[in-house]
Amino acid sequence: MTDNAQKNVLLTGASGALGRMLAPRLAAAGYALRLSDIVPFPDPVPQGATFVQADLSDAQAVAGIMDGIGCVLHFGGVSLEKPFDEILAANIVGITNLFEAARRQKARVVFASSNHTIGFYERGTMLDTDMPYRPDGYYGLSKAYGELLGRMFFDKHGVESVHIRIGSCLPEPVEARNLSTWLSHDDLFRFVCSAVDAPVTGHAIVWGASANTCSWWEADDRERIGYAPQDNAEDFAEKIASIRTDDAITERYQGGVFCAQGFSRDTP
């Protein structure tokens, strides 16, 4: 483990599905780990880790959980499409508070962004991370805000950040869309460790997908952090290739069902 890995690491959103998966792995890997969420941690706190309950929309609470932290893994916030007022406090005010605290602590931010920042590109369109944003809802818009916030904080304050545009992070793929979007739990853990340990990151954006044969996503900043996914959704193709929805909007766009939610155009 590098010297960077010895930094105190904060994991927000620790009580969510991905947080609960990452927490014991990070603790077992030897990171000095602080967990936080707005709700209690539902599992036994891993040996060597601590848990602090906090609301990310409370700037003072965020400053408290960030005290002494060298790198924050930001998985907190609303993870589904919701009305704007529900997204605002958790996903926009929350990440702004977190970057302000990271600036004061001179800490690195690793942000769980989303493929929903680009959800309205049609399936099969090959994208790199320099392509314009096409968010598919308020959730995706909040993730685009987080990426742009990271860009501004790096340019203006030198705060390093790594943003992973998570596709479908599941134990295994469950539908045809996942042949392109699947991110295995093992690959997410590999990414997180790489993002914490990298000597220098600048402002980096990385596609959050495994090494899928049918990926829609190409060039990104993964080499800068030394991240190399190893799993491939194609291993499950025979099982899932025929599993699709009967909704034309869901099936047309990369963001899937998020694009269909509230869709009111007469035509795509």
**Which of the following is catalytic: 31, 121, 138, 139?**
139
What are the φ and ψ backbone dihedral angles of 182, each rounded to 5 degrees?
-65, 135
Residue of 9, 60, 50, 56 lying closest to 37 (CA atoms): 56
Q: What type of residue is 110?
A: V
Q: What type of residue is 103?
A: R
Task: For 125-157, give one letter per residue: b (16+ CB within 10 A) or e.
Answer: eebebeeeebbbbbbbbbbbbbbebbeebbeee
Q: What type of residue is 111?
A: F
Q: Which residues pair with 50 in a beta bridge?
A: 34
CA dist., res. 179 & res. 168, Å (int): 10
4, 67 in Cβ contact below 8 A? Answer: no
31 is catalytic: no
Catalytic residues: 139
